[in-house]
Amino acid sequence: AQRVTQPEKLLSVFKGAPVELKCNYSYSGSPELFWYVQYSRQRLQLLLRHISRESIKGFTADLNKGETSFHLKKPFAQEEDSAMYYCALHSGSRLTFGEGTQLTVNP
Amino acid sequence: DAGVTQSPTHLIKTRGQQVTLRCSPISGHKSVSWYQQVLGQGPQFIFQYYEKEERGRGNFPDRFSARQFPNYSSELNVNALLLGDSALYLCASSRQGGPSNQPQHFGDGTRLSIL
List the domains of chain A with CATH numbers: 3-106 (2.60.40.10)
Tell whether B108 is within 8 A of chain A (Cβ): yes
| CB nearest B107 (choices: A36, A43, A51) | A43
Q: Alpha-carbon distance B108 to A42, whole Å?
A: 7
Q: Alpha-carbon distance B54 to A74, whole Å?
A: 39
DSSP letters spanning A45-70 = EEEEEGGGT--BTTBEE--BTTTTB-
Residue A35 contacts residue A22 (beta carbons within 8 Å)? no
Give residue A30's pLDDT.
83
Question: Which residues form the domain of B37?
Answer: 5-114
Q: What is the DSSP secondary structure assignment for residue B67, as one 8-state letter?
A: E
Give residue A69's pLDDT.
95
Q: With a cut of 50, which residues of chain B have pLDDT below it?
A: 99
A14: left (phi over 0), alpha (psi -120 to 50) or beta: beta
* Cβ neighbourhood burial of B5 (10 Å; 0-12, 13-18, 19+): middle
| CB nearest B45 (choices: A49, A96, A99) | A96
Q: Alpha-carbon distance A104 to A52, whole Å?
A: 26
Q: With a cut of 70, which residues of chain A have pLDDT below it?
A: none
- Report the CATH number at residue B56: 2.60.40.10
Number of Cβ atoms within 10 Å of the Cβ of A80: 10
Which one, of A102, A36, A28, A24, lies nearest residue A68 by Cα?
A24
Chain A residues whose CB is inside 8 A of the B56 CB are 92-94
Number of compact structural domains in chain B: 1
Which one, of B66, B74, B78, B110, lies nearest residue B93 by Cα?
B74
Chain A residues whose CB is inside 8 A of the B35 CB are 95, 97
**Enclosing H/E stretch for A13:** strand A10-14
Residue A46 contacts residue B103 (beta carbons within 8 Å)? yes
Which one, of B88, B105, B79, lies nearest residue B38 by Cα?
B88
Residue B3 contacts residue B63 (beta carbons within 8 Å)? no
